[in-house]
Amino acid sequence: MTIGIALAGAGAFGIKHLDGLASIDDVEVVSLVGRTLDKTKAVADDYGIGHITTDLAESLERDDVDAVILCTPTQMHAPQALQCLEAGKHVEVEIPLADSLADAEAVVAKQAETGLVAMCGHTRRFNPSHQWVHRRIAAGEFAIQHMDVQTFFFRRANTNAKGEPRSWTDHLLWHHAAHTVDLFQHQTGSPVVEYHALEGPYHPELGIAMDMSIQLKAESGALCTLALSFNNNGPLGTFFRYIGDTGTYIARYDDLVDGYDQAIDVSDVDVSMNGIERQDREFLAAIGEGREPNSSVAQVLECYRVLDRIEQQLSS
């Protein structure tokens, strides 16, 4: 059976999903939702998508839409996820699930009510680099003692990953820290029991902290040190150093090296080396098999509880 997808958000990250979906059998993107029709049509033409709209509700009314992937601005994630579930559509919402705990809890409650597949794009769970480490942990061959993580971007102007003007404002805590907080708990299999955070000056126009430092301790005793910046004028991205009892590993998105920068072959982790594609494969497999996906909204909720506690600490 072919699963019909509506993809909302035809920007930089939406295109990453379209590229990933193009490598997966038995799926068709039948509708593309964008902010403006001209740009949305250009993307739709490139990928052979027959229907475009600027209104998600229009896509949700289509009988050939079984599921939705949301790559829209952060502030729209929770309300649009609810809209999809209420329309009877499975939904994969890009990270973050929400920018408040209350909104995240509302999505989890609606998923439980409908029984539909709802997952959040916590992509680090699906990068082959992190999956390789996870398998070593599961096999009892590696235990995390400290995760040192750097999330560095240059965002002094409000632009997206392609350097284009952005219509919304990104956030270090509710978006970028969410990757690490969830991954830390997922990899250690242990909830965060202690946390401490500091933030730097706010941008005068964007109204957000441009630098942040977060410390976490898991119930297992493992530590996580996370540095985040929108002021970094240098190599961009997020870099994870796993310091464990039997080795040190550094993950740079889908690639993995040891502590001496020697490459580790992770090509046999799964059918693809593309974390976004593997994320989408999990979403589609969960729909086809009628099961809860890895990174379901229920599984990632604890991450947003931690973010909420950190936000309260910062605001106090």
Cβ contact 250:175 at 8 Å: no
pLDDT at position 163 is: 67
- Answer yes or no: is pLDDT of 166 > 70: no
Cis check: omega of the bond before 191, within 30 degrees of 0: no
pLDDT in tens, 297-307: 999 999 999 99
pLDDT at position 161 is: 60
pLDDT-derived band at 206 (thresholds 50, 70, 90) equals: confident
pLDDT at position 162 is: 62
pLDDT at position 158 is: 67
Q: Element (H or E) spanning 83, and its range?
A: helix 77-86
Q: What is the residue extent of each domain of the chain?
A: 3-122+275-294, 124-265+304-315
If you ran DSSP here, which 8-state letter would residue 234 be given? S
**CATH, domain range 3-122+275-294:** 3.40.50.720
What is the residue-averaged pLDDT of the chain? 95
Cβ contact 300:97 at 8 Å: yes
CATH number among 3.40.140.10, 1.10.3720.10, 3.30.70.3400, 3.30.360.10, domain 124-265+304-315? 3.30.360.10
pLDDT in tens, 55-79: 999 999 999 999 999 999 999 999 9
> Which residues are paired to 67 by β-bridges?
5, 90
Distance CA 210, CA 203 (A): 6
pLDDT in tens, 256-279: 999 999 999 999 998 889 999 999
Q: Which residue has the higher pLDDT, 206 or 175?
A: 175
**What's the average model confidence in pLDDT over 153-170?**
72
- Answer yes or no: is pLDDT of 165 > 90: no
For residue 57, give the amino acid letter: A
Name the nearest CA neighbour of 119 among 35, 192, 182: 182
Distance CA 116, CA 295 (A): 14
If you ran DSSP here, which 8-state letter would residue 121 be given? E
**What's the average model confidence in pLDDT over 235-243?**
94
**What's the average model confidence in pLDDT over 288-292?**
98
Sheet of strand 67-70, all strands in order from the earlier edge strand to the far edge:
51-53, 27-33, 3-8, 67-70, 90-94, 118-121
- Answer yes or no: is pLDDT of 42 > 90: yes
Q: What are phi and psi of 119, to 5 degrees?
A: -135, 160
